[in-house]
Structure formats: structure tokens, C-alpha cells
Chains A and B, each alone.
Chain A
Amino acid sequence: MTSAPPRLPEWLFECLLPARELEYVMGDLVEEYALRSRRSSALPVRFWYTVQICRSIVPLLWASIARAGWPSTLAIAGAAWITASAAETVGIALLQVVLAPQSVFFTAASAAIGLATMAGGGYIAGRIRQSSPMVMAAIVLLVVVGLMTTASGSAPLWYAIVFLVGGPLATVGGGAIALRTRA
């Protein structure tokens, strides 16, 4: 009797990849997992399975973007990022009406608005093109790194770190929701 494959890496795949890729790739991995489980103990097989999934994400995403076309994918991701950034600007402007800009609450609330709008942008990008949220996440990462290096000192360090990690994650998360609702 073989144990079931680990659920967490599988979930990661489901969040990031279109259903088209999932069908064949997951089927192959589950089949080989069962074969390996008959010959080895559970731990190395689970490790092999997890490594296979982690190593497969980038080439499959790359293939998915290439199939859809780089220029249009980039354009969708860029447009979604601009939309999200515009919504973030409006949200923070409205926040200034109710909270003092120097307060910690204002900084925390503006970070929450920023992450929520990036998640919204990722969702929109994912609804239009399945591979776009990852490209948008890369744009978010580049912009945050750019802002951290050129405008350092204008915001607390924790705020920058929240955006550095949370910005791309929120974008991918929004895209994952779009992917799951499309499937």
C-alpha cells in the first residue's frame, strides 16, 4: 500500500498553473510517486515529489507565457499593475481624510490597502490571462526593489519589507483565486 502524495506542493501547483498543465503533469507525478513508493520508504519519495514540483514551476510557467505570447502577457500584467496602483493611490488619499499620515495606524492601513489592491490586480490579470499574475508579481517586485533603493528613508523598513515579500505574494494569491474560479 502506498501513501498519498504530500498535499502542500500539489496545492502550490494548483495555485500557480493553469488546469491544462495540471492534468498531465500531476497525473505523471502521481503515477511515478506510486511506482517509487513501492520500491523506497516514504520520506525520500515525498522529498523527490516535492523537489519535482518546485523544479517544474518555472519551466511550465515560462512555457505557458510563451504559448500565450510574451508581448500581450506583459501588456496585461502591466495594465493590471497600473490599475492596482491607481486604486492604491485613491485608497490612500481617502485614508488621509480619516487618519493622520504620521501615525502608525495610517502606515499599517496603507500597507493593507496596497496589498489588497495588488491582490485585486493579480485577480484581474488572472481572469484575463492565466500566466499574467506571475509576470505582474515580477513587476511588483522590481518596482518595490527600485523604490527601496532610490527612495530609502521615506517609509519605515518594515513597510518596505512587507511590500517586498507581501506585494508579489498578494499578486500571485489574487491570480490563484482567479485561476481556481476559472477552472
Chain B
Amino acid sequence: MPRGDLLGSLEHVVLLAVVHLKDEAYGMTVRREIEDRTGRSLSIGAVYATLERLEGKGLVSSYTGEPTPERGGRAKRHFRVEAEGLRALRASQEAIRKMSAGLKPRLEAP
């Protein structure tokens, strides 16, 4: 990922969910993790489209799991964050921290 190319807000949230979930990151768990933590209900399609974009940028990688009966014999597509993904997260978090500096009283005002 080129320097200065920051993550989009949805990419940021999805990538953080993958980091939280570790080995259990696949479409459904990522969607639920975001819903549980932020209250934002995403469609499974939006989650996969974002994960695919992140994979295209080399920030996550995916592998196919075994088909299971509770999924109607369909396989899971697991995702894991790559070193480049962690770097991109750090850069995005840092940019947000710098941009928020000095704004605490205004942001916390009722």
C-alpha cells in the first residue's frame, strides 16, 4: 500500500474486525463483530466486497476452509491480516490521532 494512501472508513472497520477475530475471521463473524461493537448492521455482501478490496491491496489474505453441515455443505472463506495490513492500520490510526489532536473539548461537548 503506497504511503499516504489511507484506509477508507469501512476498510478500517473491517480490517480491525479481522484483527480482533484472529483465526475466526470469515464473512459472518466479521459482520457480527462490527454489529456487536459499533451497532452498524452491514450486509454480508458489503463485508465480502470490502474484504476482497483489502485482499487486492495485499492487506489481508484468504484461504478456504472445510465445508460443514450447518452451512449446507458450503466452505468458509477465512481471512487473516498481513503485515502490510497492520502497517496500514497503524498509519490510519496515527493520521486520525494527529487530526484529532486539540479537538477533544469540541468532540466531547454535548
Interface residues of A, Cβ cutoff 8 Å to B: 21, 23-32, 34, 52, 55-60, 62-63, 66-67
Q: A24-B76, A63-B49, A67-B52 are in contact. Are A52 and B44 (CB under 8 A)?
A: yes
Q: A32-B28, A52-B43, A63-B52 are in contact. Are A23 and B75 (CB under 8 A)?
A: yes
Q: Which of B32, B48, B68 lies in contact with A60, CB distance below 8 A?
A: B48
A-B pair count, CB < 8 Å, reads 73
CA distance A81 to B52 in the complex (A): 29
**A to B CB contacts below 8 Å, 16 in the list:** A24-B76, A25-B44, A26-B72, A26-B74, A27-B67, A27-B68, A27-B74, A27-B75, A27-B76, A29-B44, A30-B72, A32-B32, A52-B43, A52-B44, A58-B45, A66-B53
CA distance A25 to B72 in the complex (A): 12
Which residues of B27-62 have CB atoms within 8 Å of chain A's CB atoms?
Answer: 27-28, 31-32, 43-46, 48-49, 52-53, 56
**Other than the known A27-B68, A67-B56, what 11 A-B pairs have Cβ atoms closer than 8 Å?**
A23-B77, A24-B27, A26-B72, A28-B26, A28-B76, A34-B70, A55-B45, A55-B46, A63-B48, A63-B49, A63-B52
Decide: B45 and A24 in contact? CB cutoff 8 A: no
CA distance A24 to B51 in the complex (A): 12
Decide: B27 and A25 in contact? CB cutoff 8 A: yes
Count of chain B residues with a beta carbon within 8 Å of a chain A beta carbon:
23
Q: A32-B32, A63-B52, A63-B53 are in contact. Are A27 and B43 (CB under 8 A)?
A: no
Interface centre among A28, A55, A62, A66 (most CB of B within 10 A): A28
Shortest Cβ distance from A135 into chain B, in angstroms?
A: 17
**Nearest residue, chain B, Cβ from A55:** B43
Interface residues of B, Cβ cutoff 8 Å to A: 26-28, 31-32, 43-46, 48-49, 52-53, 56, 67-68, 70-72, 74-77
- Residues of the A chain whose Cβ atoms lie less than 8 Å from the Cβ of B72: 26-27, 30
- Residues of the A chain whose Cβ atoms lie less than 8 Å from the Cβ of B46: 55-56, 59
- Residues of the B chain whose Cβ atoms lie less than 8 Å from the Cβ of A24: 26-27, 48, 74-77
**Nearest residue, chain A, Cβ from B77:** A24
